Each structure stands twice: as structure tokens, then as C-alpha cells.
Chains A and B, each alone.
Chain A
């Protein structure tokens, strides 16, 4: 099976702009979660989608949003970028049920805000 793919891999944006990141989960996986990874804060949970519905949300401002499509692909959007949004954004997919909660991570999108 193909793994989790994320596009783009690298992104440079200017403060105030917006950005959309994309994630394609492993075939058959219905759950997609997004995380922000920074050296100082570790892995922070953004949100999780399951069957096109947001099932859970972390403690991030409303500038961070996401959605999931019927084919389980997911997008994450960050509006009005701030310098502090510079991070590695990881997408993870899983079966989303009790027997399959382990997550499989993509390589990430490295976002740099200048």
C-alpha cells in the first residue's frame, strides 16, 4: 500500500498570507489527523477528521481550519499567517476505530513564514 502523502513538502510564505496543505491518507483509512511539530512545543494536535466530520480539535486559534473530502483526502488551511506558524505540519491517517487507532504519518510539510 502507498503511504501517507503530503503536498507540498516545502513552503515559504509571507506574514499575513494564507496557505493550504494537502494530505492523502493510506487507502482505506477514514481518519486523518493533523499535527504541528516545532522544536520548542513538540507535537501539538490540531484536529482530526473521520468520514468528512471533524471529530476532535486541539487548542489552536480559528485561523487554523481543515476539511476532509469523500475520498478521505484532507486539507488544512492557515489564514493570516504569523511568524510563529513556522513549523513542520504532519498529517497522519488511521483506520479510526478501536482496533486500528495507530497512526501512520506522512513526511510533513515544512512551512516557513517570513
Chain B
């Protein structure tokens, strides 16, 4: 069975500081990995994905994530946080051998303070 863990329910950072939202996963084979963001009163939006290739992937709004196979992690990062980045972030995994089913983490609430 595949699973995703987001160990922090809440992450607080000051505007301008770097941010990291952590994600670890468990799948039987090689994973497809995704980050999504849910702003207040708005739907879930796709941020970025890892399919294959370079372990560092770049996505929307200046976010990036690093795939680490040995640590089974896919942490979301941004060099300089903005107040407008405050939202709920979800990590998701999809097993290459189980096309169709995506498993989401429980979400991490990011709060960026001015």
C-alpha cells in the first residue's frame, strides 16, 4: 500500500525567510510525486511534479522540490517566503504500477508572517 506523511501540521515562517514543507512517501515501486496548494476559499491547485530525471524540480510561484530516493522524501521549498504563500499544502504520490490511484498527505498549513 502506498502512503504519504507530512510530519508537520503547521509551519510558520517570517516573510523573506526560506521555507520548507516536508513530505515522505512509501510506495512499492518508483513514484510519481506531486505538490498541490489550497488557498482559503479556493480549490486545490497543482504546483509541481516529479516524474523522472533531475531530482530538483521547479514549479509555480517560485516553489521547488527535491526528490530524494534514499530518504523517500520530496520536500517543498522556496528561497524567500511571501505572505501570499500562506495556504494549505498537500503532497501526493502515485505508484507507477498502480495507475490511477493518488494518495494525499494530510496537509501542512503554511503561515507566513510579515
* Chain A interface residues toward B at CB < 8 A: 31, 33, 35, 42-43, 45, 48, 50, 55-56, 58, 90, 92, 98-99, 101-108
Contact = CB atoms under 8 A, between A and B. Distances in A.
Given A42-B105, A98-B51, A101-B49, A56 B99 contact: yes
Contact of A102 (B43, B49, B96, B99): B49
B51 A45 contact: no
Interface of B: 32, 34, 36, 42-46, 49, 51, 90, 94, 96, 98-107
A18 to B, nearest CB: 25
Nearest to A35: B104
Contacts of A48: 100-101
A33 B44 CA distance: 13
A55 B44 contact: no
Query: Which of the listed residues B45, B90, B101, B105 has the most CB atoms from chain A within 10 Å of its own CB?
Result: B101
A104 B101 CA distance: 15
B100 A43 contact: no
A102 B46 contact: yes
B57 to A, nearest CB: 12
Which 10 residue pairs across A and B have the least CB separation, nearest first? A56-B100, A55-B100, A105-B44, A43-B104, A48-B100, A56-B101, A42-B106, A102-B46, A105-B43, A107-B43
